[in-house]
């Protein structure tokens, strides 16, 4: 009886689950058309395959993406895997969703003519700008700008070779300001830029990068502000200062003459907001100043209320003098720092 029933199901194109045979086995047939390559050796995926994937212009145009980089590696996989990084054209803050990722994979398989282990990731720019600086040159023909950042320069080598980048703008590079989107033609020498890039850097001077997004910053008020105003204290009658240096060493200052000297120098300092507000890790020192029952913080990073201020000759001389005196108590303090 069972044999007769099975014969009827097959004759009608049905399986014993009640589903059409063609539908049940469709995925298997598709897999058979685009068979996985046999990876018998570490060189199973050759350079030819890499070239094919990078030259799939029609696929990339269809999905408005552009390839950035690709490599073939094991990366913990049981077989070689092609790792392809794409970016969304004109949308550097968006990643591919799962459906887009799958659709691009299928399109690549169909053009290549077979399946293989393929992992696709998207370049998404971070929240914080990667490079900053003022425009000093504009090359309209090549769509390039040169930016230089002297915000951290007081004296020394950085005056002669400051942080500098020659940036290439793609046709889809996003340019904006607080008032809205802009065009390449709107850029002008002197504009302060916050820039997000592909992450690839050509090691030269100036360093060369491709910009994905640019923001023209609003001008800052560069009126000097007294340190006493920023710290909300007159910095007089200090009782004690506890200092933690960048190499982890600590120093407590209670000597009245040294405290008076530090007080007098800090009271003279005036600061201007920095246009470079990127996050920096590491510091020369931080200090906690005790005045009566109150404590106030000051440090070499010059951060107050979430805003960084520029170094100047006053802060540099204060830092140099503090470290020189601290080394009389801690001889091996901050090795490598003059």
pLDDT tens digits, the chain, 338 residues: what are they? 444 444 333 344 444 444 443 433 433 444 444 455 544 444 556 566 777 888 899 999 999 999 999 888 776 666 788 899 999 999 999 999 999 999 999 999 999 888 888 999 999 999 999 999 999 999 999 999 999 999 988 877 777 889 999 999 999 999 999 999 999 999 999 999 999 999 999 989 999 999 999 999 999 999 999 999 999 999 999 999 999 999 999 999 999 999 999 999 999 999 999 999 999 888 999 999 999 999 999 999 999 999 999 999 999 999 999 999 999 999 999 998 87
Locate the domains of the chain by residue range.
1-26, 34-122, 131-216, 225-326
Q: What is the per-residue pLDDT for 278?
A: 95
CB burial readout 164-203, b (16+ within 10 A) else e: bbbbbbeeebbbeeeeeebeeeebeeebbbbbbbbeeeee
Q: What CATH number should be reported for the domain whose range is 131-216? A: 2.40.50.140
Q: Which CATH class is domain 225-326?
A: alpha beta
CB neighbours of residue 293 within 10 Å: 6
Give CA–CA dist 332/309, Å, rounded.
29
Residue (of 234, 238, 243) closest to 258 by Cα position: 238
* Contact yes or no for 299/319 (Cβ under 8 A): no
Q: Which CATH class is domain 34-122?
A: alpha beta
CB neighbours of residue 313 within 10 Å: 9
Please, is 35 exposed, middle or buried when counting C-beta atoms within 10 Å of its C-beta (0-12, 13-18, 19+)?
exposed
Q: What is the per-residue pLDDT for 75?
A: 60
Q: Give the contacts of 261 (CB within 8 A, at least 6 positions apart).
A: none
């Amino acid at each position: 009886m069972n044999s007769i029933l099975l014969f009827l199901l097959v004759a009608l194109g049905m399986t014993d689950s009640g589903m059409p045979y063609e539908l049940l086995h469709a995925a298997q047939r598709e897999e058979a058309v685009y068979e996985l390559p046999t990876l018998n050796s570490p060189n199973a995926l050759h350079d030819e395959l890499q070239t094919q994937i990078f030259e799939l212009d029609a696929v990339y145009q269809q999905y408005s993406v552009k390839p950035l980089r690709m490599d073939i590696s094991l990366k913990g996989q049981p077989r070689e895997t092609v790792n392809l990084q794409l970016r969304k054209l004109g949308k550097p803050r968006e990643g591919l969703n799962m459906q887009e990722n799958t659709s691009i994979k299928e399109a690549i398989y169909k053009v290549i003519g077979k399946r293989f282990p393929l992992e696709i990731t998207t370049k998404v720019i971070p929240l914080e700008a990667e490079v900053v600086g003022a425009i000093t040159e504009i090359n309209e023909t090549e769509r390039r700008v040169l930016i230089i950042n002297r915000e951290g320069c007081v004296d020394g080598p950085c005056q002669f070779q400051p942080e500098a980048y020659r940036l290439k703008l793609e046709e889809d590079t996003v340019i904006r300001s607080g008032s809205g989107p802009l065009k390449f033609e709107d850029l002008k020498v002197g504009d302060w830029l916050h820039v997000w890039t592909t992450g690839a850097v050509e090691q030269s001077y100036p360093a060369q990068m491709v910009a994905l997004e640019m923001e023209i910053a609003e001008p800052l008020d560069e009126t000097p502000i007294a340190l006493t105003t920023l710290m909300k204290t007159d910095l007089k009658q200090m009782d004690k200062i506890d200092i933690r240096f960048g190499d982890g060493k600590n120093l407590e200052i209670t000597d009245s003459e040294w405290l008076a000297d530090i007080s007098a120098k800090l009271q003279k300092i005036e600061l201007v907001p920095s246009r470079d507000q990127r996050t920096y890790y590491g510091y020369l020192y931080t200090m906690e100043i005790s005045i009566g029952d109150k404590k106030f913080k000051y440090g070499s990073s010059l951060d107050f209320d979430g805003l960084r201020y520029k170094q100047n000759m006053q802060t540099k001389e204060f830092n140099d003098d503090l470290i020189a005196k601290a080394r009389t108590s801690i001889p091996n303090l901050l090795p490598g720092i003059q």
